[in-house]
A and B are shown apart, each in its own frame.
Chain A
Amino acid sequence: MNDNVNYSETIKDFIVDNFLFGDGEKLATDTLLFEKGIIDSTGVLELVAFIEENFKISITDEELIQDNFSNLNAIGNFLKSKNNRAAS
């Protein structure tokens, strides 16, 4: 994974396609994914599987907490910090 990868767009597209069936207006970067019922506990695993496949990273059980996936911003921050840790 490199710093220039734009996770946000790819992940947003995936969520719009996969959980909102193309209905992108409902999703802002701070939209709460769980509270709004966009993603459930299975959905977050789907998202993690997608992230792992597309960005060639691996997410541990310990990182699978709601805080890391609460909205698009949180996901972006989590992946950036994970990437920074990997780089350092």
Chain B
Amino acid sequence: MCGISGILNLKNPASIDTNNLRRMTYALRHRGPDETGAYVDNWIGLAQSRLSIIDLSSGSQPIHNEDKSIWIVFNGEIFNYPEIRESLAKRGHKFYTSSDTEVILHLYEEKKEKCLDDLNGQFAFAIWDSNRKEFFAARDRVGILPLFYRIENDRLLFASEVKAIIEISDTQTALDPVGLDQIFTFWTTLPSRTAFAGINELAPGHFIKYSKGNNISVNRYWSLSYNNELVQNDKSIPQFTTEISELMKDSVRLRLRADVPVGSYLSGGLDSSGITAIVKNDFNNQLRTFGITFQEESFDESDFQHLMVKHLDTNHSEVHATNEDIGKYFSDIVYYGEKPIIRAAPVPLFLLSKKVREEGYKVVLTGEGADEIFGGYNIFRETKVRKFWSVDADSKFRPKLLKKLYPYIFNDKRLAQTLQSFFKVGIDDPGNSFFSHIVRWNNNTKLKNFFSEDFSKQIGNYNCFDELKSLLPEDFDNWDYVYKAQYLEIITFMSGYLLSSQGDRMAMANSVELRVPYLDHRIIEYMATVPSKFKIRGLNEKYLLKKVFKDLLPKEIVYRPKNPYRAPIRNSFFNNKSFDLHSVLSEKEINESGIFNPGKVKLLIQKAERSQSLSELDNMAIAGIISTHFLQNHFIKYKKLIVPEEYSFGTFIDKRNQIN
């Protein structure tokens, strides 16, 4: 895993400032502390900072083909590289390293963009063909690894993280009002947008192509799809269970390929427990595991975690997330995450990766993606309940099924009535593209009431729902309704938040690579053929996955109620001696930033000071406002990094005199 960056001249050859490449690389040094390397000619500069995991001795980047005309910088892992390499070697390709990076390069030589179809992995890479003057960059299917770009003054600037682009950009960076409008609705920007004006993210499953004399183009090579005819209605539950089990084992097997030891996150939930059990039983008896415990009991899962540690007998380390630490490190995680967040949950994951690194590990497996792919979230169950209700919107009984999801609230008659009307929104239109998410998104939209008048004016009439609709596949409205909900959750929450703000960015902040077995594309594609009534049986979430793990895990883990992973917000920022709330949210700061309404922010603070039990929305507002403040501090009031003079590329290939 690594950080990659580069500068490409789009019109004419011109000198590439190698100092700029150096600064970009330095900005990404947390992603790759082990080595640095660069290639430069008069069209392009490619740079890389490396975290060495495969081929420690000879995998230094950039890597070239046989005649040194094609060069690659690569962030990620191609898990099936030995198999691809073998077939390439049979066809005459010569390799000078044993790395996966070199395999991509030769596959690209043969197949151009079609090479992406063969790759099983998590990746972002950039390739330069110096003879043809062709540039190619791509990102993995669901966006496990990041890649950003900006087009400025006839140059393409690209990097694993936005900070490297900002570092050398000629344009003054500003927050993007539309990006923020999206984040305060969906928790994340929609594909290709970021929180920063003019800086784009290469969307998951997409590639960028450029050749001299042509414009840059961005194309999609993969997407989740659904087709009624592919759904295997005649298959039985045991058949599905067996096939999923085999796929899971193979996915884990591939993800243990590394030249350094691989550990595993273990939370005590079904997903990470299942992965850990597979590793322990089938592959590595000396497994090292890592988990989070919380100071606040209502967030803590240590009982389940300890049960699993005992059950599997792993060598386990814990990080104890205190409220004080969550407040204390919040600024850091915004620096690494690079977008406003309306949760505090990334912080403990940041602390966890720090622990992993301290214990000498660089790579860990995690359970991310299982909820999206196998149907684990409450939002899917809620969708099923609302669909059940929509059969007869006036039924006295049907809405009472909501009690199954929210038992405590529904025990209070008055609250039950309010909540019932809350969930009734859109109940008469079950075919709506956003039927599954409309209740939640409508609720989040209220966060935007905190925007200042000026900032709201900048957003203007922009409608984020229209934009999301324009991103959906043409036949989306004909899809199965649970699968539609999964799709929406995957392209918004999973790619934009879970794999990023809670995933790669929190791990790479401490130079740790995450590997996500549930997001092997073979599993994702397979699950598209499973009838949704089996994914969530009645309201029993992740039904098939529970069947897969039934014999591997203690009954308490398989049948336990699912708790979403969360971290306390209000209690982390208020009365915290390591977090200076009143200077962060002072009227002066809020006025200066111009994004939020100072009067409303003041009232919110007063409310939070009075009451420990704030609504979910108030908590989200607090995190959103504070994180936006830090984002501005880190990136808008940005001062250039001071790069130490001795910081230079370990490998430096200079072709500025040869290639024009």
A residues in contact (CB < 8 Å) with B:
14, 17-18, 21-22, 41-43, 45-50, 52-54, 58, 60-61, 64
Which residue, B397, B400, B555, has most C-beta atoms of chain A within 10 A? Answer: B397
Contacting pair B559 A46 (CB below 8 A): no
**Which are the 9 A-B pairs with shortest beta-carbon distances?**
A50-B538, A45-B401, A49-B388, A21-B559, A42-B403, A42-B404, A61-B395, A64-B397, A53-B533
B396 contacts the other chain (Cβ, under 8 Å)? yes
**Interface SS, B side:** helix
| Residue in A closest to B384 when the chains form the complex, CB atoms | A49
Contacting pair B540 A17 (CB below 8 A): yes
In whole angstroms, what is the CA distance A41 to B400 when docked?
9
| Neighbouring A residues of B539 by C-beta, 8 Å | 18, 46, 49
Contacting pair B391 A58 (CB below 8 A): yes
Least distance between A79 CB and chain B CB atoms (Å): 16
Which residue, A41, A45, A48, A52, has most C-beta atoms of chain B within 10 A? Answer: A45
Contacting pair A52 B397 (CB below 8 A): no
9 A-B Cβ contacts within 8 A? A17-B543, A18-B540, A22-B555, A42-B407, A45-B388, A53-B388, A54-B533, A61-B397, A61-B398
In whole angstroms, what is the CA distance A17 to B237 when docked?
13
Contacting pair A45 B392 (CB below 8 A): no
B252 contacts the other chain (Cβ, under 8 Å)? no
**Which residues of B, 516-572, contact A by the 8 Å Cβ criterion?**
533, 537-540, 543, 555, 559
| Residue in B closest to A41 when the chains form the complex, CB atoms | B400
In whole angstroms, what is the CA distance A60 to B397 when docked?
9
B27 contacts the other chain (Cβ, under 8 Å)? no
Question: Which of A14, A58, A60, A64 is within 8 Å of B538, CB to CB?
Answer: A14
Least distance between A46 CB and chain B CB atoms (Å): 5
In whole angstroms, what is the CA distance A52 to B384 when docked?
11
In whole angstroms, what is the CA distance A50 to B392 when docked?
16
| Residue in A closest to B391 when the chains form the complex, CB atoms | A58
Q: A49-B384, A49-B401, A61-B398 are in contact. List 14 more A-B contacts (CB 8 A).
A: A18-B539, A18-B540, A21-B555, A21-B559, A22-B555, A22-B559, A42-B400, A45-B388, A45-B398, A45-B401, A46-B404, A46-B538, A49-B388, A64-B397
| Neighbouring B residues of A52 by C-beta, 8 Å | 388, 391
In whole angstroms, what is the CA distance A5 to B383 when docked?
27
Category for how many chain B residues contact A: 20 to 34
Least distance between A38 CB and chain B CB atoms (Å): 14
| Neighbouring B residues of A48 by C-beta, 8 Å | 388
| Residue in A closest to B546 when the chains form the complex, CB atoms | A17
B385 contacts the other chain (Cβ, under 8 Å)? yes
Contacting pair A61 B400 (CB below 8 A): no
B residues in contact (CB < 8 Å) with A:
384-385, 388, 391-392, 395-398, 400-401, 403-404, 407, 533, 537-540, 543, 555, 559
Question: Which of A22, A42, A60 is within 8 Å of B401, CB to CB?
Answer: A42
| Residue in B closest to A49 when the chains form the complex, CB atoms | B388
| Neighbouring B residues of A22 by C-beta, 8 Å | 555, 559
| Neighbouring A residues of B395 by C-beta, 8 Å | 61
| Residue in B closest to A15 when the chains form the complex, CB atoms | B538
Give the number of residue pairs across the A-B interface with Cβ within 8 Å: 56
| Residue in B closest to A21 when the chains form the complex, CB atoms | B559
In whole angstroms, what is the CA distance A42 to B538 when docked?
12
In whole angstroms, what is the CA distance A42 to B398 when docked?
10
| Neighbouring B residues of A42 by C-beta, 8 Å | 400-401, 403-404, 407
In whole angstroms, what is the CA distance A42 to B403 when docked?
7
| Neighbouring B residues of A49 by C-beta, 8 Å | 384-385, 388, 401, 538-539
| Neighbouring B residues of A54 by C-beta, 8 Å | 533
Which residue, A14, A50, A53, has most C-beta atoms of chain B within 10 A? Answer: A53
Contacting pair B388 A14 (CB below 8 A): no
| Neighbouring B residues of A41 by C-beta, 8 Å | 400
| Neighbouring B residues of A60 by C-beta, 8 Å | 392
| Neighbouring A residues of B555 by C-beta, 8 Å | 21-22
In whole angstroms, what is the CA distance A25 to B555 when docked?
17
Contacting pair B391 A50 (CB below 8 A): no
Contacting pair A17 B537 (CB below 8 A): yes
Contacting pair A46 B401 (CB below 8 A): yes
| Neighbouring B residues of A47 by C-beta, 8 Å | 538
Least distance between A3 CB and chain B CB atoms (Å): 19
In whole angstroms, what is the CA distance A85 to B391 when docked?
20
Tell whether A14 pairs with B400 under 8 Å between CB atoms, given A58-B391, A60-B392, A61-B395. no
| Residue in B closest to A64 when the chains form the complex, CB atoms | B397
Contacting pair B401 A61 (CB below 8 A): no
Least distance between B475 CB and chain A CB atoms (Å): 22
Contacting pair B404 A18 (CB below 8 A): no
In whole angstroms, what is the CA distance A41 to B398 when docked?
11
Least distance between B393 CB and chain A CB atoms (Å): 12
Question: Which of B384, B401, B538 is within 8 Å of A18, CB to CB?
Answer: B538
Which residue, A18, A41, A43, A49, has most C-beta atoms of chain B within 10 A? Answer: A49
| Residue in A closest to B401 when the chains form the complex, CB atoms | A45
In whole angstroms, what is the CA distance A21 to B546 when docked?
11
| Neighbouring B residues of A50 by C-beta, 8 Å | 537-538
Question: Which of B404, B407, B543, B559 is within 8 Å of A45, CB to CB?
Answer: B404
In whole angstroms, what is the CA distance A21 to B555 when docked?
9
| Residue in A closest to B394 when the chains form the complex, CB atoms | A61
Tell whether A14 pairs with B401 under 8 Å between CB atoms, given A49-B388, A52-B391. no
| Neighbouring B residues of A45 by C-beta, 8 Å | 388, 397-398, 400-401, 404
Contacting pair B559 A61 (CB below 8 A): no
Least distance between B263 CB and chain A CB atoms (Å): 31
| Neighbouring A residues of B396 by C-beta, 8 Å | 61
| Residue in A closest to B539 when the chains form the complex, CB atoms | A46
| Neighbouring A residues of B391 by C-beta, 8 Å | 52, 58
| Residue in B closest to A54 when the chains form the complex, CB atoms | B533
| Neighbouring B residues of A58 by C-beta, 8 Å | 391-392
| Neighbouring B residues of A14 by C-beta, 8 Å | 537-538
In whole angstroms, what is the CA distance A71 to B396 when docked?
23
Least distance between B416 CB and chain A CB atoms (Å): 12
| Neighbouring A residues of B401 by C-beta, 8 Å | 42, 45-46, 49
| Neighbouring A residues of B384 by C-beta, 8 Å | 49, 53
